[in-house]
Structure 1
């Protein structure tokens, strides 16, 4: 059975392009992935765009990426099924 990874994401909606800005750290010193999406934060559009973009970027199906926490916040917790934490980090670092 495949692993799953929890990914902390700081989302910036309304950007000029969908892109990953790299890694940052939160107030507790934990790694946070900075992501920008074109979608606006209206009726969940930015969250949906984030999940779709991460699925494409990580090479997994859209259904394998779900919002675990932070639906109304810029800081989100995303669950990625089928990849462990090391595999997610390696794919993002390779970009």
Structure 2
């Protein structure tokens, strides 16, 4: 799959974004979007950093202590994708900086993701 190009759904109705292997860090499961992330805790601000191989990098201000990092990550992702925090779940990597998140029925797309198959 290396070098495969796919047209991704843009964050707005602007021109489509072309990216390499975006499907490696995002995929659809029905109406739920699953993301593979690499999280940087204790960052200066919460932000999307960019794609890096098979992960999308995200910075979170909260420390990775007593679930504070995961809670802050879920809230940041929920706000960015236009859903309630209860619609975002950590499905893998609960205690790791490499995480799999599931977003139920996202309404906005702040980053380009794999197009949903019809």
Indicate the TM-score class for this superposition, using the shorter chain for normalisation.
0.7 to 0.9
Match of 1:19 among 24, 44, 47: 47
In structure 2, how many angstroms separate the alpha carbons of the residues matched to 1:46 and 1:91?
20
Q: Distance in 2 between matches of 1:91 and 1:13?
A: 20
Unaligned regions of 5+ residues in structure 1, if any?
none
Measure the CA separation in 1 of the matches of 2:103 and 2:67. 19
Give the match for residue 72 of structure 2. Answer: 49
- Spell out, residue by residue over 1:36-89, the C-alpha distance to the aligned partner (whole angstroms, 9 max, x if none): 111001001011100100000111111110111101111000001013xxx87x
1:51 is paired with a residue of what secondary structure? Answer: helix
Matches within 5 A, 1:43-82: 43-82=66-105
Q: Structure 1 length normalisation: TM-score?
A: 0.80
Which fold has the larger relative contact order, with Cα–Cα distance below 8 Å and residues 6 or more apart in sequence?
1
Say whether 1:10 aligns with 2:10.
no
Determine which structure has the larger helix proportion and give its number: 1
Unpaired segments ≥5 residues, structure 2: 1-29, 113-118
Distance 2:35 2:60 in 1: 17
- Alpha-carbon offset, residue 91 of structure 1: 3.3
Is the Cα contact below 8 Å between 1:19 and 1:36 reproduced in 2? Answer: yes
Alignment-derived partner of residue 91 in structure 1: 110
